[in-house]
Structure 1
Amino acid sequence: MRVKFCGTASLADMRCAVDAGCDAVGFIMGVTHKSSDFVTAAEAARMIRHLPPFIEPVAVTHLQETDDLIRLVRDSRCTTLQVQNTVEPAELDAVRDALPYVTIVKAVHVTDASAVGTAKHYEPYADALLLDTRTRERLGGTGIPHDWNISAKIVAGSAIPVILAGGLTPENVREAIRKVRPYGVDVHTGVKKDGVRNPERTLAFAREARDALSGEPDR
């Protein structure tokens, strides 16, 4: 089970994720909605210089315009782009043409059953989907789980990897994985304590996620 820790705002955050054995770290940049732990592209680039091999740096953004997305990836030196906001498929194609080395993850907000159709709409244009929760103010980082039954339906019908996010914690990630069967999981607020990323909760999350399907083949 792949594990991504999002909202990396400091070298201490990054070390915490690395020590837990993460597969990816997310840097929130280019925000247009309420968010926490966001950084500039330059700050992300400085942290990425200290990232060990084989851990993916992910640019997580609310930006929508092609030129803005391309500039953000180039300036931050990330190799994966996670698009949280609504964009046209043609925008994702344009990003791919400009940055053929970049993996594109498109967030789908699971507010109701219409998310199944939204996921299918973006599937041909993304390398992976990320199922998240949103509110009027926030495009992610809500700390609120969504309907895992809908997420499980999306995973079962998807031709590309699907990552589960939204309100995951060390206490519920095992149940979520068993219910949804995602390719990977993504957490931000669920591993915080007193407003900062907590080493014990971060390690516990990774352990629970990796053990959730113990004895079953990795997807």
Structure 2
Amino acid sequence: MRVKFCGTASLADLRCAVAAECDAVGFIMGVIHRSSDAVTPAEAARMIRQLPPFIEPVTVTHLQETQALIDLVRESHCTTLQVQNDVDPSDLEVIRQALPCVKIVKAVHVMDRSSIATARRYEPYADAILLDTRTEERIGGTGIPHDWNISAEIVANSTVPVILAGGLTPENVRDAIQKVRPYAVDVHTGVKKDGVRNLEKTLAFARAARDALK
């Protein structure tokens, strides 16, 4: 099971993720909704230089304007773009043409069964769909799980890989994976202690995720 740790805001955060043998690290930038652990593209780029090979750096952003999204990726030197906010599917095609070597992940917020149609709408334009939770203030990093039954239905019928996020913790990630069967899992607040990424929780999350389907 592939694992991404999001909200990487410091070298200490980065070292935790690397110690857990993560597959990807997310850097939150371009924030217009309430968020924790946001960094600038320059700060992300400095941390990315410390990444060992074979770990994917991901731009995670709330921005919606196409050129702003392209600029964030170029300035941060990430190799994947995760679009958290609402954009027209055709905008993702514009981004792909501008950044042909960058993978595009589109977040879909699982609020009710309408998210099934939303995910299907983005599938032709994204390399992967990420299923997350939102509130009035936050479009990610809520720490709140959503309905895994809906997520499982999206996974079962998707033509692209599906990443599960939203309220995952070391304690529930095994059950979530067994229920949803995603391509990967993504965690942010679930591996924090006192507001900071915690090594013990980070390692426990990675172990539980990778053991879930054994």
Fold-level match, TM-score > 0.5?
yes
Displacement over 2 Å in runs of 4+: none
2:159 is matched with 159
After TM superposition, list the pairs within 5 Å mapping 1:37-186 onto structure 2.
37-186=37-186
Q: Structure 2 unaligned runs (5+)?
A: none
SS in 2 for 1:124: coil
**Structure 1: segments with no counterpart, 5+ residues:** 215-219
2:35 aligned residue: 35
Question: Structure 2: which amino acid aligns with 1:165?
Answer: A
1:95 aligned partner, one-letter code = I
2:188 aligned partner: 188
TM-score normalised by length of structure 1: 0.97
CA distance in 2, matches of 1:195, 1:144: 16
CA displacement at 1:90 relative to structure 2: 1.3
**TM-score (norm: length of structure 2):** 1.00
**Residue type at the aligned position of 2:125:** Y
Deviations 1:83-124 (A, max 9, x none): 000000111000000000000000000000000000000000
Q: Name the Cα RMSD after superposition.
A: 0.3
Q: Secondary structure at the match of 2:209?
A: helix
Name the counterpart of 1:217: none
Note the alpha carbon deviations across 1:138-157, whole angstroms, 9 max, x for none: 00000000000000000000
Q: Aligned pair count?
A: 214
* Identity, % of aligned positions: 79
Distance 1:129 1:57 in 2: 17
* Aligned-residue offset at 1:32: 0.6
**CA deviation digits over 1:59-103, x for unaligned, max 9?**
000000110000000000000000000000111000000000000
